[in-house]
């Protein structure tokens, strides 16, 4: 059974200060997880995690990760701006984007970020708007050569990201002619898999590709970014990925493929979002209505605007009815929000303890791609973000939106 990282008694105190709904983050869990990741890849002198800002774009969270030695991966102008304000710069920023506007490249260049090109046509575009840096990365799409157990993005040939291999060869040579001296290789292939074999399998493909590129172009390969994709166990019966085993699997591939090829000083980067933050955030919400028609419904003060993964993907998020965790799960509910859309459901036919109006519910694993994917449909206002600090106190790290925020961009 999944257990929340916060107790009912703690939540009652927190909700006296911050009304539901809100996203709550566990600082201790975040820090411990970051340290474990660094331990798993400590065998590589240049290892660095570039946290995917898109997963949880909050400056306080980014600062915690910065203190744990992480960099940031940005995909847009505003993510670059936020990272700059937090204090990231230079090699601590990886800029990975697609269909990139010129303003984004201009700021990435100004911040001296590592630019990760998504398409061969972006070489000329980047040169025109910001110039070609000496250190640059390219994103590889291996097409049908890669498969995973992932059901969201398991066919790279259908994904919009990256260069083909022939384009990588052409692109590296072109970039060398334009002054690039050190190269990185990157791939973005899976969105959530807990299989320990995934990262080592991806590493082998990228390591073999790096060796071929080095031989064909003479390019210096300085780093290989394994991107994201390490998932979390959303369901209680699922086992988490073993990051120590994953790190060891990547090390074995490194020793087998890169070292004999003379590429024994290549730095390994990761670009994790969900793995870093997912389990260490939850959506705290209150049951405000119950409805009995053809099915039994529990209506919450949160909705898909607070967490859209169930509505968008049909994704499972575990739900705890606080204080009733040990009671029989003998009531079947659809757990819904108040949007005028029938997919506004956090759970369908979910077996839970009897829910009463006023009960506090915790929706698990919203620390990544939770608040970040929120929106204002039906005029719903974005919820607050609260940090449960290591000493047990709480800190408001983003206030809830108000109607004034919603109307601020309108001419009325």
d(CA 385, CA 398): 5
d(CA 139, CA 134): 17
Q: Roughly how many angstroms between the first and final C-alpha of the chain, as a whole number?
A: 50
The full DSSP string for 1-64 is ----SS-HHHHHHHHHHSPSSEEEEEHHHHHHHHHHHHHHTTTSTT-EEEEEGGG---HHHHHH
Provide the total of helices (H) and of strands (E) in the chain, helices listed first.
Answer: 12, 17
Whether omega for the bond prior to residue 181 falls within 30 degrees of 0, making it cis, is no
Note the residue count of the chain. 412
d(CA 330, CA 49): 43
d(CA 213, CA 258): 12
Of 80, 322, 124, 98, nearest in space to 188 by CA: 98
Please identify every residue annotated as catalytic. Answer: 340
d(CA 239, CA 383): 30
d(CA 69, CA 117): 24
Q: Distance between alpha carbon 385 and the CA centroid of its chain, in Å?
A: 17
Burial of 365 (0-12, 13-18, 19+ CB in 10 A): buried
d(CA 333, CA 355): 9
d(CA 268, CA 225): 6
**Is-contact 274 231, C-beta < 8 A?**
yes
């Amino acid at each position: 059974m999944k257990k929340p990282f916060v107790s009912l008694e703690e939540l009652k105190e927190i909700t006296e200060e911050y009304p539901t709904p809100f996203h709550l983050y566990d600082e201790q869990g975040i820090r411990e997880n970051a340290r474990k990741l660094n331990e798993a890849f400590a065998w590589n002198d240049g290892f660095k995690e570039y946290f995917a800002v898109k997963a949880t774009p909050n400056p306080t969270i980014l600062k915690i990760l910065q203190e744990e030695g992480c960099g940031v991966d940005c995909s847009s102008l505003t993510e670059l701006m936020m990272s700059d304000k937090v204090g990231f710069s230079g090699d601590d920023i990886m800029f990975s984007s697609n269909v990139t506007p010129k303003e984004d490249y201009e700021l990435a260049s100004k911040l001296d970020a590592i630019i990760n090109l998504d398409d061969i046509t972006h070489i000329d575009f980047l040169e025109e708007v910001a110039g070609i840096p000496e250190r640059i990365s390219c994103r590889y799409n291996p097409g049908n050569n890669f498969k995973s157990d992932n059901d969201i993005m398991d066919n790279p040939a259908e994904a919009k990201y990256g260069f083909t291999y022939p384009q990588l060869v052409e692109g590296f040579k072109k970039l060398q002619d334009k002054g690039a001296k050190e190269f990185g290789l990157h791939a973005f292939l899976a969105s959530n898999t807990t299989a320990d074999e995934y990262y080592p399998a991806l590493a082998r493909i990228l390591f073999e590709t790096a060796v071929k590129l080095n031989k064909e172009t003479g390019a210096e390969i300085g780093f290989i970014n394994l991107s994201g994709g390490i998932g979390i166990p959303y369901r209680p019966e699922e086992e988490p990925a073993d990051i120590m085993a994953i790190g060891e699997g990547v090390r074995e591939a490194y020793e087998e493929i890169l070292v004999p090829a003379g590429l024994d000083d290549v730095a390994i980067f990761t670009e994790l979002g969900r793995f870093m933050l997912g389990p260490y955030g939850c959506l705290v919400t209150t049951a405000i209505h119950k409805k009995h028609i053809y099915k039994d419904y529990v209506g919450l003060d949160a909705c898909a605007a607070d967490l859209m993964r169930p509505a968008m993907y049909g994704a499972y998020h575990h739900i705890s009815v606080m204080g009733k965790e040990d009671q029989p799960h003998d009531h079947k509910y659809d757990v819904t929000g108040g949007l005028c859309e029938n997919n506004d459901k956090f759970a369908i036919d979910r077996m839970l303890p009897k829910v009463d109006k006023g009960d506090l519910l915790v929706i698990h694993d919203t620390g990544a791609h939770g608040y970040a994917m929120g929106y204002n449909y039906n005029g719903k206002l974005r919820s607050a973000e609260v940090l449960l600090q290591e000493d047990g106190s709480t800190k408001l790290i983003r206030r809830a939106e108000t109607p004034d925020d919603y109307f601020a961009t309108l001419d009325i």
